[in-house]
Amino acid sequence: MRLSLTSRLSVTSALLPALTVTLVVYLGATSWTAWMSLTNSRMLPNNNFVGLRQYELLLSNDRWITSVHNIIVYGVLFVSLALLIGFLLAVAIDQRVRAEDTIRSIYLYPYSMSFVVTGLVWQWLLNPTLGIQYVLRSWGFAGATFDWIVRPETAIYCLVIAGVWQASGLVMAIMLAGLRGVDDEIWKAARVDGLPKWRVYISIIIPMMGASFATAAVLLSTAVVRLYDLPVSMTNGGPGIASEVPAKFVMDHLFERGNIGLAAAAATTMLVTVIAVVAPYLYWRARKGEVR
């Protein structure tokens, strides 16, 4: 169907915001950030080209190294624990349990709350003076220590605990949808063969749920790269710089330390990492013809 001039004008006007946003915000802002990472911009952006100098500085910056190290530890633990717990929760719910709706609501409600709320609650729970450590001691475990949040070498694990608490319900919801999509015939066949249930899950169901695992893993991974609100509210990167993360590194260098060039280099590094993870996934989904 050929479009009349008025129709074409209408369509164009409707797509104007998307077009502007894509060109100006996405492409424009991304290229500007990438360009700034090649300059020696400090408080204000300038155009003094310094090549890859900022990236060299970045790699010799203790805080950045700690941030990257932290995000790897956090990312690996957070993604694998959330996947594992989320999957187990989904399997448990899928066993025809009573009060299914209530249980599911309990698992998922943390996901409706912000990272700031999550961070502040767990900061209080993990507080060594009055939190869980104190409770354990008052129960008679005199030597119980759970002071991870004030110890530099363990503070990052506190972020993992809070993050997993917040996100496992999301994984559960995705996995439950996947489990409910499994064909009944498979369960019947497995019963006829006399396979124990756990074997069916491990050898048949999990391999079938590749798409659910991929979706959940990508969702969790993007949350990892974006991790900012949680450390800000829970530990503020501390003690010292022990729980710093890349997103916070960028924000602090942009708005507090007046080092835009270095911040841009860090942001560009994050961008490249994300694209390296997401591009194959989007390509895979597009090939499967199910970009939804």
Q: Which is nearer to other proteins, 226 or 257 (CB)?
A: 226
Site for other proteins in 190-209 (CB under 8 A): 191, 197
Of 46, 112, 145, 203, the one binding other proteins (CB under 8 A) is 112
Query: Which of 132, 204, 206, 241 touches other proteins (CB under 8 A)?
Result: 132
Q: Which of 79, 82, 89, 158 binds other proteins (CB under 8 A)?
A: 89
Binding of other proteins by 223 (CB under 8 A): yes
Residue 38 within binding range of other proteins, rule CB under 8 A: no
Binding segment for other proteins (CB under 8 A), chosen from 25-33, 62-70, 73-81, 145-153, is: 25-33
Question: Does 262 sit near other proteins (CB under 8 A)?
Answer: no
Q: State which of residues 43, 62, 143, 184 lies at the interface with other proteins (CB under 8 A).
A: 184
Of positions 40, 219, 241, 257, contacts other proteins by CB under 8 A: 219
Q: Which two tokens stand for residue 102?
A: 């209530």
Please list every residue from 142 through 171 that binds other proteins, using CB under 8 A. 165, 168-170
- Residue 48 interacts with other proteins (CB under 8 A): yes or no: no
- The minimum distance between CB 153 and other proteins, in angstroms, equals 22
Among 159, 260, 262, 265, binds other proteins (CB under 8 A): 260
Q: How far is the CB of 140 from other proteins (least distance, A)?
A: 14
